[in-house]
Amino acid sequence: MTIQQAKEKHQAALLALPGVVSIGIGLSGGETVIKIGLDGKHPDTEKVLPKALEGYRVVSQHVGAINAK
């Protein structure tokens, strides 16, 4: 499974978590990872975020609110 397929497979469930506003693919420490964007501090959500999906490392970051224009 590619990282894109892993992201797509889990995207809907992750976006349903409180505070999750984006799911993407990026680099962290030279490694390609799945990035989860949060709109602020959500300790309960951060506790349940997976450390990996389908063998790909997951990292979270606070990105703020995202508004479509």
pTM: 0.87
Instruction: Give the chain's mean pLDDT.
Output: 93
Return the bridge partners of 33, or none: 26
Distance from C-alpha of 53 to C-alpha of 8, rounded to nearest angstrom: 11
Return the bridge partners of 28, or none: 31
Task: Return the domain boundaries, the chain.
Answer: 3-62
Each residue's pLDDT expressed in tens, for the chain with a length of 69 residues? 999 999 999 999 999 999 999 999 999 999 999 999 999 999 999 999 999 999 999 999 988 776 666
Residue 67: per-residue pLDDT? 67
